[in-house]
Amino acid sequence: MPGYFETAAGGGAAVALDEVEISILRSLAVQLLELIGPADADGAEPADPFAELFAEGPTEPPQDPALARLFPDAYEEKADSSEFRRYTENDLRTRKRGDALAVVRSLDALTAGGDGGAVLTLDAEQARRWLGTLNDLRLTMGTRLEITEDEDNELYRLPDSDPRKPLVMAYLWLGALQESLVETLMP
């Protein structure tokens, strides 16, 4: 089980993580939360959820390339994409924020074993939230690294002196985690 998700009782997934892996995952999820932004200007959830249903979101794509990757245009036509974004981006941000927060909370709830590691066990819903966050982290990191599909093979050959190497290693590790979680959850 070390480093890869495996099937857990009840249809969930489990993975053994050491202290360093827990710390890295938590830090990345917190950074994702910071990138996505708070629930509202004060960082609190809206007082009136019904009014929130009718709140309009932004009509322009985010300026930050990583956020633009997380919240892409839905249509080629700018007017159509703006209209779609206005009614969907707030909900998408809320879901992504909730998923990342669920990852942080599940990591915070781990009880360390004698070696400083722990086994993270997720039910089906938690696993879905983890998949979303792992995907969002990889999209964000890939954008920051300017990775395209054609460049993936180059990632394995970066010299240790390359300042991108730690981020690339984290990107590749998250990809392996994500792939093992997908495989674990497939029937």
Confidence at residue 67, expressed as pLDDT on a 0 to 100 scale? 92
Confidence at residue 184, expressed as pLDDT on a 0 to 100 scale? 94
Confirm if 56 and 86 have CB atoms less than 8 A apart: yes
Distance from C-alpha of 156 to C-alpha of 172, rounded to nearest angstrom:
9
CB count in 10 Å sphere of residue 19:
14
Confidence at residue 41, expressed as pLDDT on a 0 to 100 scale? 43
Is residue 68 one of the residues assigned to a domain?
A: no
Confidence at residue 102, expressed as pLDDT on a 0 to 100 scale? 97
As for how many domains the chain has, the answer is: 1
Token pair belonging to 165: 């190497």
Confidence at residue 178, expressed as pLDDT on a 0 to 100 scale? 96
Domain that holds residue 134: 7-41+90-185
Confidence at residue 54, expressed as pLDDT on a 0 to 100 scale? 61
**pTM, to two decimals:** 0.86
Distance from C-alpha of 70 to C-alpha of 135, rounded to nearest angstrom:
10
Confidence at residue 152, expressed as pLDDT on a 0 to 100 scale? 59
Distance from C-alpha of 19 to C-alpha of 110, rounded to nearest angstrom:
10
Biggest alpha carbon distance in the chain? 57
Is residue 96 one of the residues assigned to a domain?
A: yes
Distance from C-alpha of 176 to C-alpha of 6, rounded to nearest angstrom:
12
Strand, coil or helix: 13: strand
Confirm if 102 and 129 have CB atoms less than 8 A apart: yes
Residues forming beta bridges with residue 7, ordered by sequence position:
13
Is residue 111 one of the residues assigned to a domain?
A: yes
Is residue 152 one of the residues assigned to a domain?
A: yes
Confidence at residue 140, expressed as pLDDT on a 0 to 100 scale? 97
Is residue 72 one of the residues assigned to a domain?
A: no
Confidence at residue 171, expressed as pLDDT on a 0 to 100 scale? 93
Is residue 115 one of the residues assigned to a domain?
A: yes
Confidence at residue 43, expressed as pLDDT on a 0 to 100 scale? 45
Is residue 82 one of the residues assigned to a domain?
A: no
Distance from C-alpha of 66 to C-alpha of 13, rounded to nearest angstrom:
29
Token pair belonging to 13: 């997934």
Is residue 163 one of the residues assigned to a domain?
A: yes
The low-confidence residues of the chain, meaning pLDDT below 70, are: 1-2, 39-55, 112-114, 150-153
